[in-house]
């Protein structure tokens, strides 16, 4: 099923190609090999291997069938990006992230996950992750099965943290998952439309995890990531995953204590 078409550009060294036709669609099981190849290529290029939790083929296949869906972007019939959505069982302590933020069994039953997003490095800068997020949220809402959308993301993955916050998520937790990998738990209420950004009540550096944990325990949530005043990150470093693990030292998270629909633990 095609969900969007458009034009994007490929990075060629420091230049950009002419516009290329791109198709965004819901993938089927015939695309599993391409999805796995792109996942492995992205992981191999990361400077911190703990930034992304790899999925084995059978678990990835489940996202292409009854347990979820995957949106992919194709250019000239080549898969250049994908976004996973997963329907976890209500009692799945590993993958149902509602259990990480104090949800009841019924709330967990109405929770759905954003799992993994991968964009080929040559196609970064086209806003593909954000566009896939928007289409995935639309498709989830159309099902009318879920109230809560959650995801995990490495604090060292500035690019994905920023994209999720721009997609209407907030940071509601920070903990170790998947065998000892540090992760933000991020949340978006599917029954409400994100309003304007709240006022900043607290600020912490993106790698000041001790301060962030304290702020989150006190009932705040992270809603924005900003460059630390006086520090500049070249665009090329943001687009190149070889550099991405150095970027967090230059950024800070803004927190608010404004009420959040669906998150009762912050009341």
Domain 2-266 has CATH 3.40.50.720: no
What are the pLDDT digits (tens) for 53-91?
A: 899 999 999 999 889 999 999 999 999 999 999 999 999
| Segments making up each domain of the chain, as ranges | 2-266
What are the pLDDT digits (tens) for 86-112?
A: 999 999 999 999 999 999 999 999 999
> Do 45 and 121 contact (CB within 8 A), yes or no?
yes
Residue-level pLDDT at 196: 73
Q: How far is CA 248 from CA 7, 27, 32, 90, 140, in A?
A: 31, 33, 32, 33, 31
Instruction: Please name the residue that has the structure tokens 């992304």.
Output: 52
pTM over 0.85: yes
């Amino acid at each position: 099923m095609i969900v969007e078409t458009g034009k994007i550009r490929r990075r060629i060294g420091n230049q950009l190609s002419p516009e290329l036709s791109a198709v965004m669609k819901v993938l089927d099981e015939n695309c599993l090999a391409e999805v796995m190849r792109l996942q492995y290529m992205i992981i191999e290029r990361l400077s911190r291997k703990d930034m992304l939790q790899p999925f084995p083929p059978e678990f990835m296949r489940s996202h292409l069938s009854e347990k979820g869906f995957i949106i992919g972007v194709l250019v000239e019939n080549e898969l250049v990006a994908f976004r996973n959505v997963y329907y976890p069982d209500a009692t799945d302590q590993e993958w149902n992230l509602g259990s990480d933020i104090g949800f009841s069994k019924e709330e967990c039953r109405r929770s759905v996950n954003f799992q993994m997003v991968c964009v080929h490095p040559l196609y970064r800068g086209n806003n593909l992750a954000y566009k896939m997020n928007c289409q995935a949220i639309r498709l989830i809402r159309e099902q009318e099965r879920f109230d809560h959308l959650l995801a995990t993301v490495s604090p060292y993955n500035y690019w994905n943290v920023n994209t999720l916050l721009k997609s209407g998520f907030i940071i509601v937790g920070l903990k170790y998952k998947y065998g000892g990998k540090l992760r933000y738990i991020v949340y978006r209420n599917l029954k409400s439309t994100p309003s304007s950004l709240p006022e900043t009540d607290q600020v912490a550096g993106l790698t000041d995890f001790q301060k962030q944990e304290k702020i989150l325990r006190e009932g705040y949530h992270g809603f924005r990531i900003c460059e630390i005043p006086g520090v500049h990150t070249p665009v090329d470093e943001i687009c190149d995953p070889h550099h991405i693990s150095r970027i967090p030292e230059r950024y800070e998270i803004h927190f608010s204590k404004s009420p959040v629909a669906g998150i009762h633990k912050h009341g």
